[in-house]
Amino acid sequence: MSQLDESLASKWKKFKSFNFEANTQWKEYQENLTFPENLSAEKKQSLLSKYQKKFYLKHVDPTLKSYEIPYSVSELNGDSHNATMIFLHGFGDQSDGWSQTFDRFLSDEKFKKLKFLVPNAPSQPISLGFGMSFKSWYNVKSLAVEGPDVNEDVPSMEACFEKITQLIDREINEFGVDPSRIIISGFSQGGSVAFYYGLSCKYKLGGIAILSSWLPLRTQLQSLLQNPEFDFKNCKTPIFIAHGDADNVLEYKYGVSSKDYLVNQVLNQGGGSEHVEFHTYKGMGHSSNEEELRDLGRFIGKVLN
């Protein structure tokens, strides 16, 4: 974390601990507030929080600012959440379709305090595409995801990981979400980011959910695990892995081998594997289906409740 990030985190910590009820100016300010009729207690509290921030900026610390978001994002149910699921779409895609999918989850009572944060990957030149630009979380040099032909652009991937950390820091510091109530997840290329990032994250996360994807940077992950200074915070974090057995884009065998590598080469460091779920979906291609989404919803509910 940079000095600027530390300063911003400190400012938000002070805001969260500020005693509004003991502040005379706030009491006078609050007396003049008006709220729409028939507003639910939850919506009223959300609106009150916005007024508190406005008051704090004017009367306490005008230098407090929101975290910069490194991507354009869709945020669902962000008014008064206490948990967040970050979901990263696949290569060449965007957030719209997945946002519509997760919007359906919000009708379920157990998700009423959950925010779905669905970023859009930036458009960037891709080596495999002869320098043409595609929406992608990182540069792609090869189609190989494991074996001797793997050629990963580590700096490009690490730059992406830094931006995911910015999203998580924002949830923790600006919105007060505990890291143990944050799930990192994704589909295909987005799942590869979530897979490695979740295992190597400096925070103890609530869960990791991987759809039709693979575990990248395996050599780098082994080096990290062998570093005596590395704290493997997510060795026992619940992990959901799902793959269709008719996937002709990212073959089913890569989902299986990623799970096997996770269990036999990563979690053998002391985490065990009883917290890892692997789901196979008969006849499903490189996509999702209702059964998978039901299983994912059950996993989210189990992690957060």
pLDDT tens for residues 173-209? 999 999 999 999 999 999 999 999 999 999 999 999 9
Indicate which residues carry an active-site annotation. 188, 247, 286
Q: Does the pLDDT of residue 271 top 70, yes or no?
A: no
Among 220, 209, 201, smallest CA distance to 153 is for: 220
Specify the pLDDT at position 34.
86
Question: What distance in Å separates the CA atoms of residue 295 and residue 210, rounded to the nearest whole number?
Answer: 12
Q: What pLDDT score does 78 carry?
A: 66
Q: Which residues contact 292 (CB under 8 A, 6 or more apart)?
A: 211, 242, 279, 281, 284
Identify residue 2 by its one-letter amino acid code. Answer: S
Which of the pair, 39 or 163, is modelled with greater confidence?
Answer: 163
For domain 73-304, is the CATH number 1.10.1240.10?
A: no
**pLDDT above 80: residue 4:** no
**pTM of the full predicted structure?**
0.91
Show me where the domains of the chain are located: 3-59, 73-304
In this model, does residue 250 exceed pLDDT 80?
yes
Q: Is the pLDDT of residue 262 over 80?
A: yes
Does the pLDDT at position 2 exceed 60? no
- For residue 127, pLDDT beyond 70: yes
| Cα 269 from Cα 271, distance rounded (Å) | 6
Q: Taking residues 92-101, what's their average pLDDT?
A: 94
Query: What pLDDT is recorded for position 161?
Result: 98
Output 39 or 220, whichever has higher pLDDT.
Answer: 220
For residue 253, give the H/E element and its range.
helix 252-261
Judged against a pLDDT cut of 60, whether residue 3 lies above it is answered with no
Averaged over 115-127, what is the pLDDT? 97
Give the model's confidence band at 79: pLDDT under 50 very low, under 70 low, under 90 confident, else very high. Answer: low
